[in-house]
Amino acid sequence: MSKIKPSKGAPYARIMGVGGYRPTRVVPNEVILETIDSSDEWIRSRSGIATRHWASPEETVAAMSVEASGKAIADAGITPEQVGAVIVSTVSHFKQTPAVATEIADKIGAGKPAAFDISAGCAGFGYGLTLAKGMVVEGSAEYVLVIGVERLSDLTDLEDRATAFLFGDGAGAVIVGPAKEPAIGPTVWGSEGDKSETIKQTVPWDDYRNGTVDKFPAITQEGQAVFRWAVFEMAKVAQQALDAAGITSDDLDVFIPHQANMRIIDSMVKTLKLPEHVTVARDVETTGNTSAASIPLAMERLLATGQAKSGDTALVIGFGAGLVYAATVVTLP
């Protein structure tokens, strides 16, 4: 018989507050056209993107995260000292160790929380949210700060016609804390490693270090393959998340997919047959694809503009490099 005492966590967990940070520099398509042979019309028709934000040298992964975190903490109505864990999802923090989460925790004044980074690409926010929910329910942390942050402009090949226009920078953050009723549903997540070459870094860091290649590593992808996978396979995952939460699309108020591409978003809406009353996040138009940051940034904008409101039921799904994915139903803070 085990002598270990049972955990004393909360019965359920919820998102309590959200915050976002977009770099001050707004980059229109005209800037992208300086290095690729394309047109504003082509970029908009293929991706729906008109502008994106690129970070300055001062707007580091840590600095953007601190700004977004401060807003999320204030929105949740807690103090930094109450944060018991910090989870950061990013693929664009170039210092291998220590985790940038530890720096962020110190800069926001969180004391001595658990702090670590995860790498799950564009599904990273969903992965972090799931881990945070487990911590709150298990009792290892009462309040968890989950951050999705990217400086993808550092990993963009501006001469690659297929991807130069896609990526942007930014940080989104949420506080996950205790709840008396279910507010974060079961997560449907997974990976398809046999498709790992579909979205990838062009070359490993050590190839660049050793001089095997002289071009800095960047993100590349097989656009058509990613599109087909996202539209058809991820629509199935989204439906599984609805089923796992015990609701139908008619019960939804908001749909917040990863902001990869407007065509993908619109195709998923059609495949899922979402009712007209469902508000759909289309933040990609002015923010671009910010990978792990895209879902919390889109969530923050919907709430800030009144397109969504506190208590709304939202389906969130992230998908990307790996290929990995994560979908769940949440109650908006």
Just list the catalytic residues: 122, 258, 289
**Number of neighbouring beta carbons within 10 Å of residue 256:** 27
Can you name the residues that pair with 125 across neighbouring β-strands? Answer: none
CA distances (Å), 227 to each of 78, 169, 233, 265, 267, in order?
A: 40, 22, 10, 10, 10
Residue 250 makes CB contacts below 8 A (sequence gap 6+) with 275
Which residue carries 């992965």 as its tokens? 127
Alpha-carbon distance of 80 to 83, in angstroms, equals: 6
Q: Name the residue type at position 322.
A: G
DSSP conformational letter for 23: -
Please say whether the dihedral angle defined by the alpha carbons of residues 331, 86, 237 and 275, taken in this order, is positive or negative. Answer: positive
- Strand duo 199-201 + 219-221: pairing: antiparallel
What phi, psi does 53 have (nearest 5°)? -110, 135
Measured distance CA(169)–CA(64) in Å, rounded = 9
Nearest-angstrom CA–CA distance, 237 and 50: 29
Alpha-carbon distances, residue 245 vs 238, 251, 312, 317 (angstroms): 11, 11, 14, 14
